[in-house]
A and B are shown apart, each in its own frame.
Chain A
Amino acid sequence: MTTSVLPSRRDEAWRYSDIDAVVAAWPLPAPESIIVPAGGKFARAIVQDAGDIRQIELVLGKGAAAALHILNIGGAYGRIELAVTLHEGADFMLGAAQIGGGAQNLEIVTTVTHAEPGATSRQVVRSVLGGTATGTYLGKVAVARDAQQTDSEQDVKAMLLNRSATANAKPELEIFADDVKCAHGCAIGELDPMALYYLQSRGLPPGEAKKLMLQAFVAGVFDGAEDEEQLQALALAKLGELV
């Protein structure tokens, strides 16, 4: 992942980025490296709330498991980039929400490499965008030639609160093995006006009705996180600013 040359929008992984912000932060510090040894377990929650470019390289040894939970909500530009390498039978789980308003540009960029057989990966990403904000998910799953019985899933959804907000979502598969399961789903939508009306007809003011639906939209991504309640509370507070 080491970014030694200043990226431009011609680079696929930086296509929707705020290049001025990248220039201002240049040179980027070396990516954080996390190695989970064979059979090990790792879990972390990342809250990006101040505007930051964060790069993480994660290597999971044989049979290791890692769960990352990300809440990407802060600053004019917030980018979280993950490069994950899975060895035999490793298991990687990502649950992420990015919630942006104003002119925020938020992105989550992942490359998950199934280097050896029998590893599993599951990524669930939810974006909620208002104002003229941009939210991007670029997710590449690479399956090496010998990585049979790979099981990977990308579940990506975005909710636009205004017609002026933008969501980019690109799940990408690069598969060199022939006995694998790689699922990917992607949807971008708006809040259902009939559901909003139904909630309001029971007495909820419009902002509260929207908040309740958006809370439900992002709720699942923090399932199983150690600080689930805190993540939910932070997400809810941010949603409250948008509606």
Chain B
Amino acid sequence: MLKIENLHATVADKPILKGLSLSINAGEIHAIMGPNGAGKSTLSYVLGGRPGYEVTEGSVDFDGQDLLDMEPHERASAGLFLGFQYPVEIPGVSNVQFLRESLNAQRKARGLEPLSGGEFLKVAREKAALLKMDMDMLKRPVNVGFSGGEKKRNEMVQMGILDPRLAILDETDSGLDIDALRTVGDGINSIMRRPDKAVLLITHYQRLLDYVQPDFVHVLAAGRIVKSGGPELARELEEHGYAEIAA
């Protein structure tokens, strides 16, 4: 589904990713762990097409399409979802209106009819319930006045509504208390654990992986994947720290 080859990227002319390669197949959940400054968030933004993140070498293929050649909204329509580490507050723009317009823009790009207000609300209600989020919060301006945990839950509700094929979740577990962590973990499993979907979890800690069992774990250090393994690698990292493994 996703094939990253020898990816090099810079932010403000500073090289961050230095030859990263990674393949993700449909039906797989991958976790990327790594110390601060390794390039984890840069990887998620490069894949999401954030302006200012410049690819200097390498390629990313998403279902046979050149991902790097696509605008951010085209990547979304192609089935990519980026869960932000710091979801953005947008005063005055209601969550519901924003998500309905986004979903319908994606449907239009795929040649599907737009959802009516009623149809959309039915989907939104179902996903909000799944993530145990109050419907009233969905009617409020995007992330404004939300706590850190509520923002992350809102990201997962958005993921549920937009129903992507590949989700890249950048530290979705940070800022969550234990109950919220379980809810979010259950949400990821229920929305994304399908034979035709895949997930790339970016995290510092083992704890989210207790709820969302990865098939593969990779260690990112200094802009490259330095080690890959199964779920046991995450536990090793938790025990021994990055310094030993990444060295």
Residues of A within 8 A of B (CB): 192-195, 197-206, 208-209, 212-213, 215-217, 219-220
Contact = CB atoms under 8 A, between A and B. Distances in A.
Given A199-B98, A201-B82, A216 B93 contact: yes
Interface of B: 48-51, 71-73, 75-77, 82, 84, 87-93, 97-99, 101-103, 105-106, 109, 141-142, 158, 162
Contacts of B73: 200-206, 209
Chain A CB within 10 A, most for which of B71, B72, B162: B72
B101 A208 contact: yes
15 contacts: A192-B90, A193-B51, A197-B50, A198-B88, A198-B90, A199-B98, A201-B49, A201-B50, A201-B75, A203-B73, A205-B105, A206-B73, A208-B105, A212-B98, A220-B92
Contacts of B106: 203
Contacts of B158: 202
A198 B162 contact: no
A204 to B, nearest CB: 5
Contacts of B71: 200, 205-206
B162 A202 contact: yes
Contacts of A208: 101, 105
A191 to B, nearest CB: 10
A216 B92 contact: yes
Contacts of B142: 198
Contacts of B109: 203
Contacts of B77: 203
Contacts of A202: 73, 76, 98-99, 102, 158, 162
A194 B88 contact: yes
A214 to B, nearest CB: 10
